[in-house]
């Protein structure tokens, strides 16, 4: 059975076959514009409300919810049908309200610095499971309006491309959430052939998890690099439909002490990105129990950032939000038993 947010307009129309023609649009707006559950759609006949509540059930079961000390970051742990768990984070800033969504339970990419990667892949999320994260966060953000969505939770979005694109299209729908595609960012570890499809068929903003400037090191940090090396990745970025100086591609670079944080690497980064409309986002590494890396020293990050800045890039160092609740990137679900067990092993 589909979940509340699994059906597109066409699917809703089919489900409501036999009802008056305006119903599908009415339900769509109830779901996405007003953020109602079917049971709350008081403009629908009671019998229909009951039927929809039954046939379009919720798919996320809140297993845990924590608010960070800053009060503006909320992290959820949701259980899905079948038992897998995912995380979603809401971040309220002064000028925007951003939700960070997961696209897979776990991740198969096995990046060495990422807690999710170390825990392995469980399963794909459906379109509805991706959208429900946004709808739950939207509700929690009220009275503020959700303004941005980032696909930076668990999973490699481009290995769940169809569902990710349907979810982006639903978020951008003008009769619903109306989050412009310029405010929706899909982050990928570099699935080259899917980058072009994402751009051509859907067109959200793109973020690339680069993290290294040499293939030898990137092969280690982001093993997908062995399949799609840096040169091919940057070629795909140069061709990303819609990329321009007004719509730059974000390059994420996690700062790992002694591994990728030298001034020479900063200069090489600048050289590599020549000709790509780029923004650079330096991310202090968020440690997790048993992690094989440490975060670079603050002075090292500043030196790196200065080189990038002097080359003409604004290089904001991403401030870790919600560190106290392990909600910062890559820490998603790092409190699981498995990782605790790994930490115990590492501690010897
Ligand atoms: N899987 C996708 C999107 C999710 S991760 C991707 O890799 O792009 C969002 C960003 O956080 C990525 O750049 C990822 O590499 C980074 N990240 C993962 N673990 C991290 C950690 N422990 N500390 C800092 N950044 C991390
Ligand atoms: Fe997967 Fe992204 Fe983590 Fe790599 S960094 S393992 S792609 S979630």
pLDDT tens digits, 106-131: 999 999 999 999 889 999 999 999 99
Element spanning 186, H or E: strand 184-188
| pLDDT the model gives residue 328 | 53
| pLDDT the model gives residue 338 | 43
pLDDT category at 104 given cuts 50, 70, 90 is: very high
Q: Count the helix, strand and coil residues of the chain and give each as a percent rounded to the nearest 5.
A: 40, 20, 40
Assess whether pLDDT exceeds 90 at residue 1: no
pLDDT category at 68 given cuts 50, 70, 90 is: confident
Please state, for a pLDDT cut of 90, what percent of the chain lies above it.
Answer: 84
CA distance to 69, 77, 80, 93, 132, per residue, from 335 (Å): 18, 11, 18, 26, 23
* Pocket of ligand 2 contains residue 158 by CB under 6 Å: no
Q: Which of 87, 132, 156, 265 is catalytic?
A: 87
User: Which stretches does DSSP call E strand in 213-328?
Assistant: 249-255, 278-284
| pLDDT the model gives residue 313 | 86
Is 348 buried (19+), middle (13-18) or exposed (0-12) by CB count in 10 A? exposed
Helix axes 230-238, 192-201, angle to 10 degrees: 10
Assess whether pLDDT exceeds 80 at residue 298: yes
CA separation for the pair 65, 139 (Å, rounded) = 14
* Pocket of ligand 1 contains residue 121 by CB under 6 Å: no
Assess whether pLDDT exceeds 50 at residue 341: no
Assess whether pLDDT exceeds 50 at residue 283: yes
Is 314 within 8 Å of 278 (Cβ atoms)? no
pLDDT category at 209 given cuts 50, 70, 90 is: very high
Is 73 within 8 Å of 91 (Cβ atoms)? yes
| Catalytic site includes residue 87 | yes
For atom 8 of ligand 1, which residue has the closest CA? Answer: 188
For the chain, report the end-to-end CA distance as a whole number of angstroms. 47
pLDDT category at 207 given cuts 50, 70, 90 is: very high
| pLDDT the model gives residue 296 | 95
Cα of 287 from ligand 1 centre, angstroms: 12
| pLDDT the model gives residue 280 | 95
Average pLDDT over residues 160-187: 97
pLDDT digits (tens, 9 = 90+) for 233-243: 999 999 999 88
* Pocket of ligand 1 contains residue 189 by CB under 6 Å: yes
Assess whether pLDDT exceeds 60 at residue 330: no
* Pocket of ligand 1 contains residue 209 by CB under 6 Å: yes
Cα of 76 from ligand 2 centre, angstroms: 19
Average pLDDT over residues 178-204: 97
pLDDT, averaged across the chain: 91
Atom of ligand 2 nearest to the CA of 187: 2
Assess whether pLDDT exceeds 60 at residue 220: yes
Assess whether pLDDT exceeds 80 at residue 100: yes
194 vs 319, residue with greater confidence: 194
pLDDT digits (tens, 9 = 90+) for 78-96: 999 999 999 999 999 999 9
Assess whether pLDDT exceeds 60 at residue 49: yes
pLDDT digits (tens, 9 = 90+) for 31-44: 999 999 999 999 99
Q: Is the preceding omega at residue 57 within 30 degrees of 0, hence cis?
A: no
């Amino acid at each position: 059975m589909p979940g509340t947010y699994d059906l597109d307009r066409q699917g809703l129309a089919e489900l409501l076959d036999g009802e008056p023609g305006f119903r599908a649009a009415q339900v769509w707006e109830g779901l996405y514009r007003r953020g109602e559950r079917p049971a709350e759609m008081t403009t629908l006949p009671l019998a229909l409300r009951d039927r929809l509540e039954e046939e379009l059930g919720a798919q996320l079961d809140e297993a845990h919810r924590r608010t960070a000390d800053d009060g503006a970051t909320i992290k959820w742990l949701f259980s899905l049908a079948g038992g897998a768990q995912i995380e979603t984070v809401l971040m309220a800033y002064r000028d925007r309200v951003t939700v960070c969504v997961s696209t897979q339970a776990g991740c198969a990419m096995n990046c060495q610095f990422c807690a999710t990667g170390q825990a392995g892949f469980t399963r794909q999320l459906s379109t509805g499971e991706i959208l429900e994260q946004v709808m739950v966060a939207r509700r929690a953000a009220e009275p503020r309006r959700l303004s941005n969505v980032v696909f930076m939770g668990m999973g490699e979005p481009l290995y769940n491309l169809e569902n990710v694109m349907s979810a982006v299209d639903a978020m951008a729908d003008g009769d619903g959430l109306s989050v412009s595609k310029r405010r929706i960012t899909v982050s990928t570890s570099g699935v080259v052939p899917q980058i072009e499809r994402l751009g051509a068929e859907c067109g959200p903003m793109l973020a690339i998890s680069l993290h290294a400037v040499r293939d030898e090191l990137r092969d280690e940090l982001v093993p997908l690099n062995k399949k799609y090396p840096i040169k091919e990745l940057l070629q795909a970025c140069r061709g990303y439909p819609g990329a321009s100086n007004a719509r730059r591609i974000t390059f994420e670079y996690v700062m790992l002490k002694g591994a990728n944080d030298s001034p020479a690497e900063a200069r090489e980064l600048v050289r590599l990105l020549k000709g790509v409309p780029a923004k650079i986002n330096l991310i202090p590494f968020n440690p997790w129990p048993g992690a094989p890396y440490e975060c670079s020293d603050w002075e090292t990050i500043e030196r790196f950032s200065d080189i990038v800045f002097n080359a003409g890039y604004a290089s904001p160092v991403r401030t870790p939000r919600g560190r106290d609740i392990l909600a910062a990137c890559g820490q998603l679900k790092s409190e699981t038993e498995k990782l605790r067990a790994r930490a115990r092993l590492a501690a010897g």
